[in-house]
Chains A and B, each alone.
Chain A
Amino acid sequence: MAKKIGLEGSLAISEAVKLSNTDVVAAYPITPQTHIVESLAEMVANGELDAEYVPVESEHSAMSVCLGSSATGARTFTATASQGLELMHEVLYVASSMRLPIVMAVANRALSAPLSVWGDHSDVMAVRDVGWIQVFAENAQEAHDLVLWAFRVGEDPDALLPVMLNIDGFNLSHVTEPVLLNEQADVDKFLPVNRYPLPLHPDKPVTMGAFGPPFIYTEAKKAQEVAFSKSKDVIMKGWDEFEQVFGRKYSPIETYKTDDAETLLLTMGSLSETASLAVDNMRDQGKKVGLLRIRLWRPFPFTELRKAVANTKVLVVLDRCLSIGGPGGPVASEIRSALYDQEKRPKVVSLIGGLGGRDVTPTDFEYMVNRGVEIAEKGSDAEYEMIGVRE
């Protein structure tokens, strides 16, 4: 039986990295991700985890080491946040284009300036298009489970893609919650050894990262795009098998009291637990409100989203990221695009909040629902609205 213990979100991740028998960890410490790699360094030093721990001088180097190690077929993990993720930016594209199944945890944090170590989704939204599978965990248990799933999916011969696991900085990375620590025997059943098909090896030399002149670049990108789209099947299979072994079920989109809901809130990450309290309150008041949470951000779950909002009048999307001068928060913009061609679709209201660690309370979510309905009824000239700003 899996043991239930109190565990910080960061440690829930590093425990899962240990259970995954990870071969290489290359990382640079940055708040609020530090506890993850700090505890991994300790596990390696104590001989609890038989892995190579590579301390590097920057996040750019961390991801570069991960490329090299993953290319040899070694199971590879790293973690970062905020400015560190942006410093890795160009290397992230290389990892996905070279189809290297690296797993990375990102403890989401705001971007400077002003300097902020606190949480929002600005960092991950800047790397939407890098070709990584991207998921958002809601709590420590999910973060723990999704690490195992990430290796399982990323390394699947039908996927071979890097996976980014997002957890909210502090709200999840630094909060201690009850976690069912998975059993090694179950993990071994669920997660086979890494079997990268064409690893770097002196016995069979290959060239990785060759250049692609104009006559072949487009074909290379098409091949990558097709592989990424197909990874959805591997993702779903991974969650099915996870449920069979561990008994917990995960899906691309989670719904809460949505069946008869006229207004839906949509969030990503740990704020969904807060939002669900607001939904309960408003249900008690007789309001038909529900909640959607996107777990799978890339590949975007179009079918599941369209189905989930089919009978809704108003969809209020909370973005924890500002797309200045753009058509709305990044999540809201994508949802508007996803629904544009639907005959029946809700009015999508884009609200921006929870920036740079600003708390979002159940009362704030109730305000968002009311404001969303108001905008939907009366209309608004603005593409989006920032909430909780002192005037």
Chain B
Amino acid sequence: MADLTWKDMEIGNIVTTPGSAQSYCTGDWRSDRPSKVFEDCIKCGMCWLYCPEAAIIRKEDGMYDFDLFYCKGCGICAEECPKKCISMAEEEEV
């Protein structure tokens, strides 16, 4: 997308492909990155329930993990986890 010129713009900047927001990476807004100790997780789903961005994925075995493509690093999951097995650490420059 970053190499689009002004001549490529649709009239009124209309986006003709539905659902294109899915391809927008909001993960790079993150300044704090979540991580978790999976052994301590009781699969209660509180992180999944509280995440405002639906960036917690429930895997087939019932375990919850982070979708770092969308996760903005707000830290609500870490705050709400009853087992305190999620922690936030500052992102490092890549």
Contact = CB atoms under 8 A, between A and B. Distances in A.
Contact of A160 (B8, B9, B12, B16): B12
A98 interface: yes
B13 interface: yes
B11 A197 contact: yes
Interface string B24-51: 0000000000000000000000000000
B10 A198 contact: yes
B4 to A, nearest CB: 6
Contacts of B5: 219
A208 B14 contact: yes
Given A205-B18, A207-B20, A160 B11 contact: yes
A223 B4 CA distance: 12
Contacts of B10: 198
| A interface bracket (residues with beta carbon within 8 Å of B) | 20 to 34
Interface in A188-205: 197-198, 205
A219 B13 CA distance: 10
B94 interface: no
Contacts of A210: 13, 15
B30 to A, nearest CB: 16
A220 B15 CA distance: 12
A97 B12 contact: yes
A140 interface: no
Given A219-B9, A223-B6, A198 B18 contact: no
Interface in A203-233: 205-208, 210, 212, 215-216, 218-220, 222-223, 226
A220 B8 CA distance: 9
B41 to A, nearest CB: 35
Contacts of B6: 218-220, 222-223, 226
A226 B5 CA distance: 13
A197 B9 CA distance: 14
Interface residues of B, number: 17
Given A205-B18, A207-B18, A220 B2 contact: no
Given A215-B1, A216-B1, A216-B4, A100 B15 contact: no
Interface string B47-71: 0000000000000000000000000
A130 to B, nearest CB: 15
A218 B7 CA distance: 12
A212 B13 contact: yes
A182 B48 CA distance: 65
B10 to A, nearest CB: 7
B12 A99 contact: yes
A216 B10 CA distance: 12
Contacts of B14: 98, 198, 206-208
Most-contacted residue by chain A among B1, B4, B10, B12 (CB, 10 A): B12
A97 B20 CA distance: 20
A99 B18 contact: no
Nearest to A99: B12
B12 A208 contact: yes
A154 to B, nearest CB: 13
A59 to B, nearest CB: 22
A309 B13 CA distance: 39
A207 B15 contact: yes
B7 A223 contact: yes
A206 B15 CA distance: 6
Nearest to A208: B14
Nearest to A212: B13
Contacts of A206: 14-16, 18
A97 B13 contact: yes
Most-contacted residue by chain B among A197, A215, A216 (CB, 10 A): A216
6 contacts: A97-B13, A197-B11, A198-B11, A198-B16, A216-B4, A219-B4
Interface of B: 1-2, 4-16, 18, 20
Given A160-B11, A207-B18, A219-B4, 7 more contacts: A197-B11, A198-B10, A206-B15, A206-B16, A210-B15, A216-B1, A218-B6
